[in-house]
Structure 1
Amino acid sequence: MKRIILTLVLAGFTFGAFAQVSKEDVAITQAYFKKDKKALVHDVLKLSDAQGHAFWPVYEAYEAKRVAISNKRIAIINDYLKGYHTLTGQEATALTGRLFANDKALLDLQKSFFNKFVTAVGGLNAAKFYQLEYYVQSVVRMRVQDTIPYIGETDAHQ
């Protein structure tokens, strides 16, 4: 049952692949933090008006690219959920390789935007943003991972 619900939820997320804010992030962030990610970033960074004017366009550009990467991860998870109970070694290796590539793409994106954030709001606020970003990403991944069955697990074992 858990697998069916997660599959439906994740399938729904893929339809908004190029939405400005990922529905996955919104749902999990709102459930865990009681607010959306942008509001959370606003509350944590406490930027002046001038800093906000410089920060938010960079943040929006970053989020658009991050959401695209996040949606690719959702596609990988959907592919896994379609056959996790009969996964072959070759399929598992391919999925894991895709996850590694996805993780690298996210890290490359974060690294490519760091200096833009530093320019916009200074090193401390840029580092603070990434501290929050890593935390939110960890929570999102943990929540999703918590609902994904292990390879070979069947509904009878849940």
Structure 2
Amino acid sequence: MLMILSAACRLTAQTTPTTAVIFNDEDLVTQIFGKNKESLLNEFLKISPVEESAFQSAFLEYETEKSPWLSERIALLKMYNEEFSSLDERKMNSLTKEIINNDLEFGRLQMRYFRRMNKLLGATRAAKFFQLDNYLEQSTREFIQNQLPFIKELESDRQVYNHDTKPLSSR
């Protein structure tokens, strides 16, 4: 059987000063899609019994290598969340660059494993693997992002409008 993320990474996101929410990646996939990553991949890729052992090995190695990247991303988001109200221009610049560099590193990791999955599964199913992996990653990212406060000024200046374009309330 395929293993879900080898290490469950957690993010503590404070939605209010007194409320903390804990995210577990394994649980997030199940919460969002109603199935775990293993089930989704098996159904989507239709891994044959002959391919199963080699695929499981490659998948486990990919998830293991992906884990530090994911941990770093979560740490960066956690840092933003804990310090967002006091981030100055220099720190915001640095934090944003770190997040972008994290994304670039993840792209390089995917390229290495695309070559491997291509040999194991063929180009179409390798593409499907990364399509699903990216979809799951983006979906969990969006879920986490929705729990984080929006950058200071944009959040405090946002207003809700009705059909007549009159402000209903400030947020």
Q: TM-score range with shorter-chain normalisation?
A: 0.7 to 0.9
More helix by share: 1
Give 1:135's aligned residue: 135
Q: What is the rounded CA distance, in whole Å, between the counterparts of 1:4 and 1:42 in structure 2? A: 41
Q: What is the rounded CA distance, in whole Å, between the counterparts of 2:57 and 2:18 in structure 1? A: 36
CA-based RMSD: 2.0
TM-score by length of 2: 0.76
Paired residues, number? 143
Q: What is the rounded CA distance, in whole Å, between the counterparts of 2:108 and 2:71 in structure 1? A: 16
Structure 1 counterpart of 2:72, one-letter code: K
Query: How many percent identity over aligned positions?
Result: 25
Structure 1 counterpart of 2:109, one-letter code: L
Q: What is the rounded CA distance, in whole Å, between the counterparts of 1:128 and 1:42 in structure 2? A: 11
Give 1:27's aligned residue: 27
Q: Rate the CA distance shift 1:64–1:5 in 2: closer, same or farther, 3 A.
A: farther
Give 2:67's aligned residue: 67
Give 1:18's aligned residue: none
Gaps of 5+ in 2: 1-13, 157-169
- Residue 118 of structure 1 contacts residue 126 of structure 1 at CA under 8 Å; is this kept in 2? yes
Structure 1 counterpart SS, 2:126 = helix
Higher relative contact order (CA 8 A, sep 6+): 1
Structure 2 counterpart of 1:9, one-letter code: I
More strand by share: 2
Gaps of 5+ in 1: 11-22
Give 2:84's aligned residue: 84
Greater gyration radius = 2
